[in-house]
Amino acid sequence: MPQPDLTLTPAGPALAPRYRESDRPAPTATTTTDAIAPTPRNPYLRLFALPGTRAFTAGNLIARLPMGMFGVSAVIMIAAAYGSYALAGAVTATGMAAGALTAPWIARLVDRYGQARIAVPATAYAVLGHLVLLLCVHEKAPVWALFVTTALTATAPNTGGMSRARWAHLLRGDPDALHTANAFEQAADELCFMLGPVIAAFLCSALFPEAGTLTGAVLFLGGVLLFAAQRSTEPPIAPRTAAGSPLRVPGMVPLMTVFLATGAIFGSMEVVALAFVDGPVAGPVLALQAAGSGAAGLLYGRARRTARLRTCLAAMAALMTVPLLAASTGSLLALAAGLLVAGMATAPTMVTGMGMVQRLTPPSQLNEGMTLAVTALLGGIAIGSATGGWAADHAPFAAFGFLVPAAAAALALALCTATGVGGPGPGMTKARRSS
* Alpha carbon 244 to its chain's center: 25
Q: Where are the alpha helices (DSSP H) in 43-158?
A: 43-47, 53-64, 70-82, 85-113, 115-138, 143-151
CATH H-level, domain 44-238: superfamily: MFS general substrate transporter like domains (1.20.1250.20)
**pLDDT tens-place string over residues 228-265:** 888 888 888 766 655 567 777 788 888 889 999 998 88
pLDDT the model gives residue 49: 82
Among residues of the chain, what percentage have pLDDT more than 90? 11
Contacts of 109 (CB under 8 A, 6+ apart): 118, 122
**pLDDT tens-place string over residues 54-75:** 888 899 899 988 887 887 788 7
Taking the C-alpha atoms of residue 106 and residue 162, their distance in angstroms, rounded to an integer, is 11
Q: 247-426: which CATH architecture?
A: Up-down Bundle (1.20)
Indicate whether 223 pLDDT > 90.
yes
Contacts of 91 (CB under 8 A, 6+ apart): 74, 78, 146, 147, 150
**pLDDT tens-place string over residues 22-51:** 444 444 444 333 344 456 677 778 878 888
Taking the C-alpha atoms of residue 187 and residue 259, their distance in angstroms, rounded to an integer, is 18
At residue 432 the predicted structure's pLDDT band, cuts being 50, 70 and 90, is very low
**pLDDT tens-place string over residues 91-144:** 877 787 788 788 888 888 888 888 888 889 999 999 999 999 999 988 888 988
Q: Identify which of 13-17, 155-159, 273-277 has the greatest average pLDDT.
A: 155-159
- Burial of residue 433 (CB within 10 Å: 0-12, 13-18, 19+) is exposed
At residue 10 the predicted structure's pLDDT band, cuts being 50, 70 and 90, is very low
Mean pLDDT of 323-331: 87
pLDDT the model gives residue 238: 66
* Mean pLDDT over each residue of the chain, to the nearest integer: 78
Q: 425, 12 in Cβ contact below 8 A?
A: no
Among residues of the chain, what percentage have pLDDT more than 70? 83
Indicate whether 433 pLDDT > 80.
no
Which segment of 156-165, 214-223, 287-296, 326-335 scores lowest on mean pLDDT?
287-296
Q: 327, 338 in Cβ contact below 8 A?
A: yes
- Asked if the domains at 44-238 and 247-426 fall in one CATH topology, the answer is yes
Taking the C-alpha atoms of residue 263 and residue 165, their distance in angstroms, rounded to an integer, is 22
pLDDT the model gives residue 121: 93
Q: Helix or strand or coil: residue 251?
A: coil
Please state the length of the chain: 435
At residue 408 the predicted structure's pLDDT band, cuts being 50, 70 and 90, is very high
3-state helix, strand, coil in the chain (%, to 5): 75, 0, 25
pLDDT the model gives residue 132: 92
Mean pLDDT of 157-169: 85
Indicate whether 376 pLDDT > 80.
yes
Helix (H) or strand (E) holding 295: helix 282-301
Q: Where are the domains of the chain?
A: 44-238, 247-426
116-152: buried (b, 16+ CB within 10 Å) or exposed (e) per residue?
bebbbebbeebbbbbbbbbebbeeebeeebbbebbbb
* Alpha carbon 106 to its chain's center: 17
Q: 316, 409 in Cβ contact below 8 A?
A: yes
pLDDT the model gives residue 312: 87
pLDDT the model gives residue 382: 75
